[in-house]
């Protein structure tokens, strides 16, 4: 939805993923219908070399990169205690949620500094800035809270170059709701969310558009919650308890 929303506002859009498929090709075609350029660039940006290649290819195709929306973030829906995670899962969660953000930022920042203008947006979760305990989500939470510090640090380091760095922390916007408009969820009920309705992809896209604006240059280093007031953190484990050995 963020790509569609920005394309509607006449932004040129570069999409990234590990590989293309029919749905990606359809999205690129749709984005081009709004009048701007749209391209897909394959690459696993949790790998430094591939992140550098993606940024180089985007720059060669579009001329510059003004906005980086880092929406990479593997998440394991199954509730797991840390001890139950495999080493491969731990590496995947840290690489996907933290290292990929660092590699992409490291690749785009030199060009943004040359331009004296840039916007970087990462994604976290509600209350990530507090580094709270999040039982059953230990590795994901560790990666995202590390990303909070990285966001705040980059915001300070890059401010003199006209570059802002912020984090959006969505609520429980999952599945098809990620691609829905506000008008499509306005009539739906969500008893868990204080706002009373579920969130939509457009709710997040509107914040991205605001942060990408030239006039938002004084907004940097922030964790912006788009949650409808929902607190996703559970103070105790919801995984079935088991007796200690």
**Dihedral over Cα of 210, 122, 219, 133: its sign:** positive
Closest by Cα among 72, 89, 211 to 144: 72
Coil, helix or strand at residue 224 = strand
Coil, helix or strand at residue 127 = coil
161 is catalytic: no
The residue with tokens 């060669």 is 60
> Greatest CA separation found in the chain?
63
Closest by Cα among 60, 25, 57 to 41: 57
Q: Distance between CA 17 and CA 187 in Å, rounded?
A: 33
Coil, helix or strand at residue 101 = helix
- Catalytically active residues are 140
């Amino acid at each position: 939805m963020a790509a569609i929303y920005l394309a509607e506002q006449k932004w040129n859009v570069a999409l990234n993923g590990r590989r293309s498929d029919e749905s990606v090709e359809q999205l690129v075609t749709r984005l081009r219908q709004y009048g701007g350029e749209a391209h897909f660039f394959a690459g696993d940006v949790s790998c430094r070399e591939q992140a550098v290649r993606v940024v180089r290819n985007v720059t060669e195709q579009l001329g510059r990169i003004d906005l980086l929306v880092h929406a990479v973030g593997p998440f394991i829906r199954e509730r797991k205690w840390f001890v139950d995670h495999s080493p491969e899962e731990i590496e995947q969660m840290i690489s996907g949620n933290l290292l990929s953000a660092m590699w992409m930022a490291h690749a785009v920042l030199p060009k943004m500094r040359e331009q004296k203008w840039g916007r970087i947006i990462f994604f976290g979760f509600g209350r990530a800035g507090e580094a709270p305990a999040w039982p059953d989500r230990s590795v994901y939470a560790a990666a995202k809270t590390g990303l909070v510090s990285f966001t705040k640090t980059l915001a300070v380091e890059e401010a003199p170059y006209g570059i802002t760095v912020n984090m959006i922390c969505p609520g429980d916007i999952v599945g098809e709701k990620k691609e829905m408009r506000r008008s499509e969820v306005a009539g739906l009920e969500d008893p868990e969310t204080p706002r009373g309705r579920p969130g939509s992809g457009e709710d997040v896209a509107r914040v991205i558009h605001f942060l990408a604006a030239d006039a938002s240059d004084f907004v940097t280093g922030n964790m912006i919650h788009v949650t409808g007031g929902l607190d996703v953190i559970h103070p105790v484990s919801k995984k079935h308890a088991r007796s200690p050995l």
